[in-house]
Amino acid sequence: MQQISKSIQKLISSLAYKKYREETGLFIAEGGKLVEELLPYFECELLIASPVWIERREIVAQKVLVVEEKEIERCSLQEYRRDVMALFRIKHWEFAPQELREGLFLGLDSIQDPGNLGTILRVANWFGIKRIIASIETVDVFNPKVVQSSMGAIGKVEISYTNLPSFLAEITALPVYGTSLQGENIYTSSLSASGIILMGNEGKGLSKEVSRYVNKMLYIPPYPRESERIESLNVAVSTSIILSEFRRREG
């Protein structure tokens, strides 16, 4: 049985931090379902698996280590038991404003919570969103918590980090929608089949610099209207509701 060397243990631990992910060009994924979801989309530099997990699978990876499950648990960045982990090569996506001419797209303004971003990626994938434009301040998509909570969606949805206000300033072919407690009721407002939907920071919402490019602000009303309620919805939940309504209008 093979063992995980100290140098590999150190490498795995370092990938919890953006600085070292950027230096190495690697990110980590853990758990059989997630690893299998990502294998078709990312180059696998190192696969570490238990004998039981790898026994009936044909895996393409630069290097494979077959170790006891307790070895994997010892190096894991997650709280739950895993029987496989993989180090993948990071991809970078870039697209120009002029490329966004038709269809729905998401714009993310300083989303900070990794779990929220991972869930937004899952929601985007479910509703057929292929591209996301994110502000530089948005949490790194290859953060281990984002990777885990995305459930493989990071391989199916392209996310490009850019200066969001500058990007939006060059958008001419699409309407830009924002989200605000002072916006129009999404269920009675007119919506187009194409556009960019902007989701703001968990605590502050959309920044002034980004809001200036919004053509229409939207609001998700509570039910019933007069009921006591929390101040606002979680950004990932809001994204799901908004995308669902846009797609519903398409029939």
**What's the pLDDT tens digit per position in 224-245?**
766 656 667 899 999 999 999 9
Is the domain spanning 6-89 CATH 3.60.9.10? The answer is: no
Give residue-wise pLDDT tens across range 45-91: 999 999 988 887 777 788 999 999 888 988 888 877 789 999 999 99
CA nearest neighbour of 184 among 140, 163, 230, 215:
215
Does domain 97-250 correspond to CATH entry 3.30.420.10? no
How much of the chain exceeds pLDDT 90, in percent? 76
pTM for the full model? 0.93
In the chain, domain spans: 6-89, 97-250
Residue 227: its pLDDT value, please? Answer: 62
DSSP state, 99? Answer: G
Over range 114-143, report the average pLDDT.
98
Q: What is the pLDDT of residue 144?
A: 97
DSSP 229: -
Query: Looking at residues 94-101, what average pLDDT do you find?
Result: 89
Backbone angles phi, psi at 96, to 5 degrees: -85, 155
pLDDT at position 229: 62
Contacts of 115 (CB under 8 A, 6+ apart): 145, 146, 149, 236
Q: Could you tell me how many residues make up the chain? A: 251
Q: Are domains 6-89 and 97-250 of this chain identical in fold?
A: no
The CA angle 73-76-77, to the nearest 5 degrees, is 150
Q: What is the DSSP string of 137-184?
A: TSPPTTSHHHHHHHTTGGGTSEEEEE-HHHHHHT--SS-EEEEEEEEE
Best-predicted range by mean pLDDT among 27-31, 59-63, 169-173? 27-31
